[in-house]
Chain A
Amino acid sequence: DIQLTQSPSSLSASVGDKVTITCRANDGIGSYLAWYQQKPGKAPKLLIYSASTLHSGVPSRFSGSGSGTKFTLTISSLQPEDFATYYCQQLHNYPRTFGPGTKVDIK
């Protein structure tokens, strides 16, 4: 099974900051990686798929990069509505594993 790790597990940032989250896979997954945002009490929302493609309606301040085993999610200028938990997920094979999540909160 593909295992995903995320770093950091949590971070504190201010509005306007640039934020970068890293997701690593224990084996190569090509570009079969997605990122999700989840706010408390809500279902996750798809942000990015195929490692770097922005899902419809997602603000352009979100971007993704990487391939193989290392991926990053970047928020170029953090907005108040971006405080949430972010998960990566591999779609290379089954089981469709998720990373443990990165919680972004207000500094």
Chain B
Amino acid sequence: EVQVVESGGGLIHPGGSLRLSCTASGFIVSDNYINWVRQAPGKGLEWVSAVVPGGRTYYSDSVKGRFSISRDNSKNTLSLQMNNLTAEDTALYFCVRYSFWSAFDIWGQGTLVTVSS
């Protein structure tokens, strides 16, 4: 079955760091466009970051310089390193595959990040 599963969320103090992981099955992470999308409580969807097959990375302005996306090809996983977290980063974080010939077609169930003192 083609799926992604996120992990690593939790409660973190403002200014802290957290590393999210996304484990893929049924497809090869390094051959695909993988994204992080987040959703603050009661709010809409916000695209956060992406890594493309060639390794180039992209970030939203709201996280640029604080978040870093990376792949571990040996484990077929993706990570999102989040630093200097603020309350505005509180959200459910989804790992999502972008299929080049369609759109964001495979979504995980999300991992919740709560930034609070």
Q: What residues of chain A have their CB less than 8 Å away from a CB belonging to chain B? A: 1, 34, 36, 38, 43-46, 49-50, 53, 55, 87, 89, 91, 94-101
Residues of B within 8 A of A100 (CB): 44
The 7 closest A-B pairs by CB, nearest first: A34-B103, A49-B103, A43-B107, A49-B102, A96-B47, A98-B45, A94-B58
Q: Is the interface of B mostly helix, strand, loop or mixed?
A: strand
* CB-based contact A96/B50 at 8 Å: yes
Encode B92-114 as 1/0 by CB contact (under 8 A) with A. 00100010001111011110000
Q: What residues of chain B have their CB less than 8 Å away from a CB belonging to chain A? A: 35, 37, 44-47, 50, 58-61, 94, 98, 102-105, 107-110
30 contacts between A and B (CB under 8 A): A34-B102, A34-B103, A43-B94, A43-B107, A43-B109, A44-B45, A46-B103, A49-B102, A49-B103, A50-B102, A50-B103, A53-B102, A55-B102, A55-B103, A55-B105, A89-B47, A89-B103, A89-B104, A91-B98, A94-B50, A94-B58, A95-B59, A95-B61, A96-B35, A96-B47, A97-B47, A98-B37, A98-B44, A100-B44, A101-B44
Q: A45-B107, A55-B105, A98-B44 are in contact. List 18 more A-B contacts (CB 8 A).
A: A34-B102, A36-B45, A36-B104, A43-B107, A43-B108, A44-B94, A44-B104, A89-B47, A89-B104, A91-B98, A91-B103, A94-B50, A94-B58, A95-B59, A95-B60, A96-B35, A98-B46, A101-B44
The distance from the CB of B75 to the nearest CB of chain A, in whole angstroms, is 23
* CB-based contact B45/A87 at 8 Å: yes
Which of chain A's residues has its CB closest to B57's CB? A94
Which of chain B's residues has its CB closest to A45's CB? B107
* CB-based contact B58/A95 at 8 Å: yes
The distance from the CB of B38 to the nearest CB of chain A, in whole angstroms, is 11
